[in-house]
Structures are given as structure tokens and as C-alpha cells.
Amino acid sequence: MKHILTLFAALFPLLAAGLHAADAKRPNIVIIYADDLGYGDLGCYGSPVIRTPHLDKMAAEGLRFTDFYSGAEVCTPSRAALLTGRYALRSGMAGARRVLFPNSKGGLPPAEVTLAEALKGAGYATAHIGKWHLGIHEGSRPLDQGFEETFGLPYSNDMDARADLPKGATGSPTPPEDGWNVALQHNGKVIEQPAVQTTLTRRYTEQAVKFIRAKKGGPFFIYFAHTFPHVPMFASPAFKGKSRAGIYGDSVEELDWSVGEVLAALRAEQLAENTLVVFSSDNGPWLIMGNQGGSAGLLKDGKGSTWEGGMRVPGIAWMPGKIAPGVTTQMASVLDLYPTALALAGAAAPKDTLLDGTDLRPLLFERKPLPERPFFYYRGEQIFACRLGEWKAHFQSQTGYGGPKAEPHDPPLLFHLGLDPSEKRNVAAAHADVLARIQAAVEAHRATVKAVPQQLN
């Protein structure tokens, strides 16, 4: 017995060191997610009015996607798609009410294996920072869904409005600071109510940097979901009034500063080359908010719609020394981040779970083309459009907010996104073969969808 103990004592440091060495090789994963940021709102995506030097540098050092998609056209289903790697209707997180509200009974079901749970199971430290919006009830909250730490808002900053809030205050360039009663929470406890919104970006950033420093031994996963640029729009005094694009631009410029701080912290801790950082947005710009609504650039429509402006968003992947600088026109989406992160972590995919994304490693690290696959544009539980290669067919269309009811298209509208990225010229009549291929892809996808309890309605 003594010999065995002696042997164990001798081996244990070696074993521990071995485990540590293996851990050190597994990359950290940081997802930075803007809220309602449009395709045309960053310098590196062509904005002439919003200065984003840190994101521009991140894009110049990393891989910038021209054709990157959010998982849905609005907030809740988009976030569910990101964290489950599945279109939101598979988890019941897509529906007619569009997103969760403070009075909603549902939320992300506990049985869903989130990216945080999968990575935590593989030994990752996990943190959620920023907006959640996937449920406020037991089983759906960040600490219930695989995050060991959480700091942020339970839902959008425009929810929980004061009863006497004047109409139009949400989209105002000068919203009242005490107009919304949404609480800032830390590890499940309310630490401030109403949340002081002008300080959120700064405080989220401090939390992210603190977590990076505390967990630098790695590996770690941070899901950093900014509150802005979602209305009501706020920025700290250092950024307010500084951009050409009003308070919207100010809040994006502060968000850009935040990205710079996170990347600088990774560099300072010698972690940059071993951390995959992905930046994106949960949906397109909220155009009905006017000057506070951002821009989808050359893309049609915005948040809430399945035109390109609603779901094609900035997408930047950064891992200096591992991801070569460049631009890719390959189609990818946030659905791909789940399988990519699991592959990098050496984590097993959840059993009996159909994932909708593709492992992006061949593209990220070897610049190999991805296999052709369809992408489905859901509005609620319905497929409004489908992209295959450069082609996109619309079966129904509707503006994001405030417009007429959905217009069905039979035959579907067909656009070539290379020749016509703004979706102006319907060429369906000349390409029946393409439509048939897209229809077949839709049918094949539908056959994989199982009915689950609806969480939003």
C-alpha cells in the first residue's frame, strides 16, 4: 500500500502537469455579440460615419466574413440558435410573439445542451456577460444553462418601461436615464435597479477583462452579449456626442472601444494566439427607430425581416498566428460556432441532438471552402426564405416591423446574391432548376424538425 501511495505521489505532479499542458493547448473561446448592429455600421463594413478602429484592426488581423448570418431575424431566437447550435424552433424558442417578454412563462428549456454546458463539461470556465434574453425562470437562466458567472441584464434594455414613459421615448436620441426598470444582475442577484445604462458597456468590459485575468490558466469561454446598440441608446460621457452618427454611432464607438479592451487584455496575458474571438450581431438594424436604428448598408430591410438586412450581419474571427488575415465570401452563420467551438475544445457533441451548423475550422485555419449547404431564414416558426450557394428564394416576405402582413410568393422570388446583393431583380422565371433544388433542401430540412413545446407565445 505504501509503495502504491509513494508511486502515486511521484506520478501525481506529472499527471497534473500533463493535464495542464493539454489544457494549455485547448483554445479559449470568446464570442462578442452586438445587439441590433447593422451590416453597414462598422468601418470595416463600409460605414462612413461610425469610427470603429478596434474592430477594423481585428478584421485586418483576422478573417472578415462578407456573408455571415445571425440565426434568426430577432433577438431571442437568434441567441437560442447561437447557444444551442440549432435553429430556434428546435428548442421552442421561435414563435409568433417573436421574443421573450418580462411576462413570458417560457425560456430556454433545461434539456437543451448549451455551448456553455458543453464546454463546461470539457473543463472550460464559463462566463456570460451582458444581455441574456433566454428566460428569467428557473432552468433557463445563465447559471442554469452552463455559465459559472453571469453579469448583465435578463432581457432587452427597452423592456420593463416605466408606466408613464412618453410614447417614442425608446427611439429618442435623448432617452430618459430612469425610463426603464430593467435590473443589472450579478450571479443571479439584482445589484442595481434600474440599471444605469450609460455605464453598462464600461462595466461589462471590466467584468470581461477581470474574468480573462482570473482564468488565464485556461481554458475559458466568454459569451459577451452587449446591450447596445439596442434602443434606448446610451453611451458613457467619454463617447456621448462624439460620432457623426448621433447617439447610435456613439454607442457603437463605445462598443468598439470595449472590443479593443478585450483583445488588449488577451494580448497582455499572452493569450491572443490561443483564443478564438468571434464578433457578430444578433440581427440587423432596427430601421423603424430612424436615426437610432443603424444601417444595413447595401442590404435590403433590417431587424425582424428575412431580407438580407435582417439577418446578414458583421462576422469577424480573430486568432493571431492561427487565422491568417483576410476576407472570405464563404457563407457561414452563428449556427456554425457551436460545432466549431466543440471541435476546438475536444468536447463531445450532445447525444441525440441534431446540430444545424458546420465546423468552420477548415475555413478558419486552412482557408478551405466549406461544403455547399442551405441556410434557412426563419421568421418565427416559418421558413420565409432559403439560400443555397449564391441563390436565395423567398417563399414569403414581410418588412421587419410595422408593415403589411406577410406576402406569400408562389412561385417563390429568386435572387442571385452575387449579381444582386440588394435583392432587387427577381429572376425566378429563368431558373426553375435552382428553385427546385432549393425546394428540395427545404423539404429535407423540414423532415428533421420535431414538434416541441412552444416557449415564446
Of 18-26, 68-76, 180-188, 337-345: span binding Mg ion (CB under 5 A)? 68-76
Q: Select 62 or 310, whichever has its Cβ closest to Mg ion.
A: 310
Is residue 75 part of the contact set for Mg ion (CB under 5 A)? yes
36/160 with CB nearer Mg ion: 36
Residue 75 annotated to the active site: yes
- Site stretch for Mg ion (CB under 5 A), options 196-204, 244-252, 268-276, 279-287: 279-287
Helix, strand and coil content of the chain, in percent to the nearest 5, comes to 35, 20, 45
- Which CB atom, from 73 or from 149, has the smaller least distance to Mg ion? 73
- The span of 32-40, 109-117, 193-201, 439-447 binding Mg ion (CB under 5 A) equals 32-40
Whether the CB-CB separation of 302 and 284 falls below 8 Å is answered with yes
List the catalytic residue out of 75, 128, 226, 394.
75
C-alpha distances (whole Å) from 210 to each of 47, 174, 222 are: 31, 31, 11
Q: How far is the CB of 227 from Mg ion (least distance, A)?
A: 10
Closest CB to Mg ion among 212 and 225? Answer: 225
Identify the active-site residue in 54, 128, 133, 226: 133
Instruction: Give the CA distances from residue 332 to residues 119, 335, 388, in Å, rounded to whole numbers and listed in that order.
Output: 21, 8, 12
Residue 7 Cα distances to 2, 12, 14, 19, angstroms: 8, 8, 11, 18
Residues 84-143 that bind Mg ion (CB under 5 A): none
Whose Cβ is closer to Mg ion: residue 95's or residue 219's? Answer: 95
Burial class (CB in 10 A: 0-12, 13-18, 19+), 291: middle
Q: Confirm or reject binding of residue 36 to Mg ion (CB under 5 A).
A: yes
Q: Choose between 269 and 282: whose C-beta lies nearer to Mg ion.
A: 282
The CB-of-37 to Mg ion minimum distance in angstroms stands at 9
Separation between Cα atoms, residue 231 and residue 172, nearest integer Å: 8
Stretch that binds Mg ion, among 266-274, 277-285, 387-395, 418-426 (CB under 5 A): 277-285
At residue 66's C-alpha, the angle toward residues 335 and 288, to 5°, is 80
Query: Please, what is the angle between helix 337-345 and helix 75-84, to 10°?
Result: 30
**Which 282-341 residues touch Mg ion, going by CB under 5 A?**
282-283
CB of 274 to Mg ion, least distance (A): 30
Cβ 75 to Mg ion, closest distance in Å?
A: 4
Angle at 39 between CA 435 and CA 332, to 5 degrees: 50
Asked if 41 touches Mg ion (CB under 5 A), the answer is: no
Indicate the residue among 75 and 125 with the shorter CB distance to Mg ion: 75
Q: Tell me the H-state helices in 131-245.
A: 200-214
CA distance 444 to 334: 21
Residue nearest to Mg ion (CB): 75
CB 72 within 8 A of CB 284: no
d(CA 306, CA 379) in angstroms, rounded, equals: 7
Count of residues of this chain found to bind Mg ion when the rule CB under 5 A is applied: 5
Taking the complex as a whole, the smallest distance from the CB of residue 63 to Mg ion amounts, in Å, to 24
Active site residue 386: no
Tell me how far, at minimum, the Cβ of 27 lies from Mg ion, in Å: 27
- C-alpha cell of residue 299: 442590404
Q: Which of 357, 417, 360, 416 is nearest to 70 (CA)?
A: 357
Task: For residue 354, give the 3-state DSSP assignment.
Answer: coil
Nearest approach, Cβ of residue 31 and Mg ion (Å): 15
Do 212 and 222 meet the contact criterion of CB atoms below 8 Å apart? yes
Residue choice 35, 41, 117, 356 for contact with Mg ion (CB under 5 A) = 35
Q: Which positions are catalytic?
A: 75, 133
Q: Which residues bind Mg ion (CB under 5 A)?
A: 35-36, 75, 282-283
